[in-house]
Chain A
């Protein structure tokens, strides 16, 4: 029976890919292990190896085709004496296409472009601003696992080793506690390290140095010793990677005096805020998001584009309810706002952008206008960012709230692996919609 070769899933977040190149042509004989094609995923170019012996009977998807969904048939491999027409249709074959798991059910929000701007992914924006700051200031360097030769585990540092060399783009051993401490020591001495954590889950091994060594030293030294360092990397849930690899650390770091904590959503903010973080004289925890890396937004061409730390942004104006979110949750809040608008509810969506210091002023002003508030975060509800905002609103906006605010947060459980349970654990637009309606007493 001829065998259909399907577009493979090659990463936790891949739902579609580009067929970059065919390495075999129709009629060519192939063996198990032969590379038949190259596929570009959201992270890298991967080689597809054949898992069958036979003849490449038919190429179904020509090279250069973009956005091929996972599980789409891309070629047919024939056994001896078989013809291409014998290929088993996928509809009744053993291989049935499954709906991709991580594809957002809503279109990516784009900001209207103003002035000179170009469209970039968050990944590219982060890379560009690191390069720009490294060109500008020779004391800035990047250190972390796989940041150099491998070009970044999530390809954020692509090209930096080539431009700046191994003195300034440093591949470390897998020793977070050690290299975070080393980075803090270098910052004591006046260098400006950018320490990349492959993900913030692994920064738990380094949290002692982030807090005890970086956050407290200026204070303990009576102001003598600033610690100009950036700790950055993806934070929050990726997709199907389980309890030890999907967690939001926003409230952990935001709890600590002596740190600044940033969690951007758009590429423009990622760029402008990372620039501000690198130039800041304090330790900054910069929380990125793996799912956002591949999303595109307009980014100003201005080479000095900088976004000051500590300012929230109203990303959608509305008068009925305020929805405060950060990072990927802004995306979901905007999607929720679209749905609410169809039902006559105009939500004001605030992108917090910085979590410490929190822009309470913008929040209070919005609540004074809408009199209703919903907060959104991926992290656990207990002692979360939403809890803090609730306390602040009690103190500063109590008289303007027409109803108790609502918190949308991750389920109060370790992240499950199973697809259906993970969906229940991670806050979705539907949860935000329901929360907004409940504070407005609408059904």
Chain B
């Protein structure tokens, strides 16, 4: 079974379905995507523990509603760029779980043929521009993608994701200035998961209202409940409508949370297990939407269980593929350094 994408299948000039009124089949599709990301990440964590995945591995567990809700408001011609916590973004862009997992294991079947790894994956076909390991880099790069959309007049926009920690980088403000000055079609998504590695936002930021960070540049921003898929989708739909109307960049601050450590080697002593358990117990985005689907009669427990089975099968197949796919040919060491003449 092929992975679907969280994006709307067809470009839609109106900016999509009406905010807050997602059709039932779309909701199920988005629920399934969040579940896919969750199960994919759990599997990646297991494979890391077994030594099948090496280096750094940053899991997205807890933040699923952000990327799935944002992508639900984009169209396939829009471009996407993020940092190293990127597996969820790739799946939501419609990239194949197999190819993503095989990149994590460093195999030839991976999106970068094993040469990039967890933090560095790309798909031209899906307009996914990485996967960047250097904090802050996604912001000017995403602004450049937006510049290209405007330059070509192709009607697309760029969703440029960054963390709360990244939001303090100087290059972010250089980008904000240019984006606003030139009315570039860019949506800055600040994933505020409250920590940059072991440092809480209060210990790293003079002001923690990231939505207001565009104020001096005249960029409107909005803080959104990033644990609520529908809230994310709704806020993104209206931001995207403004951007497409030529009003320039928008900032969305997604209030979210990561359940796991920063990377696999993070002992996470900077926060209590109770803090994590509380968010997981009270605000989990997947449980939240499931509740809503069942309550509204959009779905029932049986259908939800089927979805879980489907997703698990997909993830297991990806994990098998990722371990069976051969390592890259040694000759690959010296390819892809320059484009051949």
Residues of B within 8 A of A205 (CB): 134, 136, 169
A173 in the interface (beta carbon within 8 A)? yes
State the CA gap A209–B317 with chains docked (Å).
49
Cβ of A171 and Cβ of B199 under 8 Å apart?
Answer: yes
Q: Indicate which residue in B166, B197, B203, B337 contacts A413 across the interface (CB closer than 8 Å).
A: B337
Q: Indicate which residue in A10, A173, A242 contacts B119 across the interface (CB closer than 8 Å).
A: A242
Cβ of B117 and Cβ of A173 under 8 Å apart?
Answer: no
Q: Indicate which residue in A12, A71, A416 contacts B114 across the interface (CB closer than 8 Å).
A: A416
B297 in the interface (beta carbon within 8 A)? no
State the CA gap A98–B54 with chains docked (Å).
12
Residues of A within 8 A of B203 (CB): 149, 171
Interface residues of A in 33-67 (CB under 8 A from B): 35, 41, 43-47, 51
Cβ of B199 and Cβ of A146 under 8 Å apart?
Answer: yes
A315 in the interface (beta carbon within 8 A)? no
Cβ of B51 and Cβ of A146 under 8 Å apart?
Answer: no
Closest to B112 in A: A417
Contact of A150 with B198 at beta-carbon distance under 8 Å, contacts A100-B51, A418-B106, A418-B327 already known:
yes
Residues of B within 8 A of A146 (CB): 197-199
* Residue with the highest number of chain A CB atoms closer than 10 Å, among B115, B168, B171, B196: B115
A201 in the interface (beta carbon within 8 A)? yes
0/1 per residue, B161-182, Cβ < 8 Å to A? Answer: 0000110111100000000000
Q: Indicate which residue in A35, A95, A242 contacts B117 across the interface (CB closer than 8 Å).
A: A242
Cβ of A46 and Cβ of B134 under 8 Å apart?
Answer: no
B17 in the interface (beta carbon within 8 A)? no
Looking at B86-94, B144-152, B328-336, the stretch in contact with chain A turns out to be B328-336
Cβ of B334 and Cβ of A413 under 8 Å apart?
Answer: yes
State the CA gap A394–B114 with chains docked (Å).
41
Residues of B within 8 A of A417 (CB): 54-55, 103, 106, 112, 114-118, 120
A153 in the interface (beta carbon within 8 A)? yes
B292 in the interface (beta carbon within 8 A)? no
Residues of B within 8 A of A10 (CB): 49, 264-265
Q: Write the residues of chain A forming the contact surface with B, with a CB cutoff of 8 angstroms.
A: 6, 8-12, 14, 35, 41, 43-47, 51, 70-71, 95, 98, 100-101, 145-146, 149-150, 153, 171, 173-175, 177-178, 201-202, 204-205, 238-245, 411-414, 416-421, 424-425
12 contacts between A and B (CB under 8 A): A10-B49, A149-B270, A153-B197, A173-B205, A205-B169, A239-B55, A245-B119, A417-B55, A417-B103, A417-B106, A418-B117, A420-B328
